Structure 1
């Protein structure tokens, strides 16, 4: 278990296996647990009422990365089936990837279609570096044509890629949905802006969060992710901090990017920052996130925002009140 994470029982019935829209509600009508980081007090509401908890001058920081269908299925030259899960982009024609079905060797060619293949350059555990036969936009076109979204065992149905996108997603690159932003609708974003909440966008392409049922050690510090914070976004964030307003990060990805930027003075870099209990947050005053499974590393990050006993109590309350977990589930505002 990662230090600072929590162990609790999560009933299988609380795993959200379908998007809200397929459960008969709008994306912004999921439930929201509001948790005070000062007192541990909880309120229970719906996400469309988020504006009631933010003030004029506060800054909401969203991740605009777009989800790609990161599972590719192919065959090696000797005919064996190979499943590839893209993990992170190295450059325009190379990706680090998890080869989850079939052993591959250096120099081996994996054929995905008549139009796309890849050479294994560096076979490693758990990730291998693949050199694709296409690059840039042409490679993304093939990935979108051939790939499937990453999904885990609690999601039985293969939902369309559109269900794995936020409404404001733009630049492709995330292999898993930056799910904390999924509950936002344009209507809610306009409502927040009308109240005077400033909304800025950064970009962090998310990597794989799990490697094959924990067969491999996957500490957050080994998970490098690329981020870009536009200059104007950083100006807005800095101005809010100087004015005493709050900066609310939408998702753990945004927290990592913001805290790395303030530590390194780099607005376009890679981050492998591990935020844990006792870490002194310098930018993010609050976070909007989903509900995380027992012992997940994300819980260690949340314990940097709020006392662990408050977080444990709130999570037990969420279980009791039958909140739904994971990327299609309910939301948690810690402020």
Structure 2
């Protein structure tokens, strides 16, 4: 299976640069994974598409202002740091630009010394392990000095950093937002639960791998970065009860999908627990837990479009994407949404 099999022509102007004023007014393409049929709606119409007895699974990770701009102690050279994974209370795996100057022992200061990073190690892909020095609470220092780590294809400055955060974000740890969830408001979630839909939460802290392009010609040679996930006993119970009564489990986003599929047994039931996942889902994968997926429109040749193509078939997905381009849907993080739906397992 070639990476080029997942290419489509995406005009650059269709990559959304700013979020819409009202989260729910983004467009929604509904794709039937069994027939390939497409309908065009708005995101607030998702209520009509959900059925009593469904379970909507949301990723409640919270994006941290993980991008820091500082200078090398001594020379004053400009340095950018992107926090990736917390290793201990004061040590993090980070991406440094320019990396060649961040040697072991080098110190970088931020906010005129409010935060100081010392490079402790150089690891795979040139990432660094740094140890921070600061006074007070790290999260408060970071909130003061850091910026939201927007993807590289977004060139506009984000006016309100909460717009790169879901309304249900709870547990800090992500370097990127689970963007399918950005379309929901608290009011829309209330309408969904009023219809008899269960809402469950999982946590997956999104890492840099979400932006990592597939550089191998053969899809099977691509390696995914590991990301931390957790599922509580209460939420596992909600998901499993839905499976038992024949309802649909609908993941919101590829991150929720990867969490559920990493944890599920062969019957599709999930367990309480936490761990690291580097699951790579592409066509040929047999889904164990999810029956439907709400997701954004992804970039050509990305692992995300490969995952979507595993659920609804590559032919249906690429045809839907071609139609999205013709209809000028907005793509990626601040873009429009797609609901890949299927029948309830009970009725199969």
By the TM > 0.5 criterion, same fold?
A: yes
| Structure 2 residues not aligned, in runs of 5+ | 342-348
Structure 1 residue 77, shift from structure 2 partner: 2.4
Q: How many residues align?
A: 329
Cα distance, 1:3–1:146 mapped onto 2, change above 3 Å: same
Matched position secondary structure for 2:48:
helix
**Partner of 2:345 in structure 1?**
none
**Partner of 2:198 in structure 1?**
198
1:180 is aligned to 2:180: yes
What is the TM-score when the length of structure 1 is the normalising length?
0.92
**Partner of 1:91 in structure 2?**
88
**Partner of 2:329 in structure 1?**
323
**Partner of 1:312 in structure 2?**
318
1:284 is aligned to 2:290: yes
Residues 91-118 of structure 1 show CA distances to partners (whole Å, capped at 9, x for unaligned) of 3222111112242111222212322111
**Partner of 1:146 in structure 2?**
145
Structure 1 residue 138, shift from structure 2 partner: 1.4
> Quick check: 2:215–2:222 contact (8 Å CA) kept in 1?
no
Distance 1:233 1:220 in 2: 32
Structure 1 residue 215, shift from structure 2 partner: 8.9
Pairs within 5 Å for 1:36-47: 36-47=32-43
Distance 1:252 1:227 in 2: 13
Matched position secondary structure for 1:222:
coil
Distance 1:225 1:250 in 2: 17
Distance 1:130 1:216 in 2: 30
**Partner of 2:300 in structure 1?**
294
1:9 is aligned to 2:9: yes
Cα distance, 1:220–1:269 mapped onto 2, change above 3 Å: farther
| Structure 1 residues not aligned, in runs of 5+ | none
Structure 1 residue 155, shift from structure 2 partner: 2.5
Pairs within 5 Å for 1:101-250: 101-102=98-99, 103-113=101-111, 114-124=113-123, 125-134=125-134, 138-159=137-158, 160-208=160-208, 209-210=210-211, 221-250=223-252
What is the TM-score when the length of structure 2 is the normalising length?
0.88
Matched position secondary structure for 1:97:
strand
Residues 9-47 of structure 1 show CA distances to partners (whole Å, capped at 9, x for unaligned) of 1112211111101xxxx1011000000110111110001
Cα distance, 1:11–1:206 mapped onto 2, change above 3 Å: same
Structure 1 residue 164, shift from structure 2 partner: 0.6
Distance 2:192 2:24 in 1: 13
**Greater Cα shift, 147-156 or 51-60:** 147-156
After superposition, the CA RMSD in angstroms is 2.3
> Quick check: 1:96–1:130 contact (8 Å CA) kept in 2?
yes
1:53 is aligned to 2:52: no
**Greater Cα shift, 151-160 or 162-171:** 151-160
Structure 1 residue 148, shift from structure 2 partner: 1.1
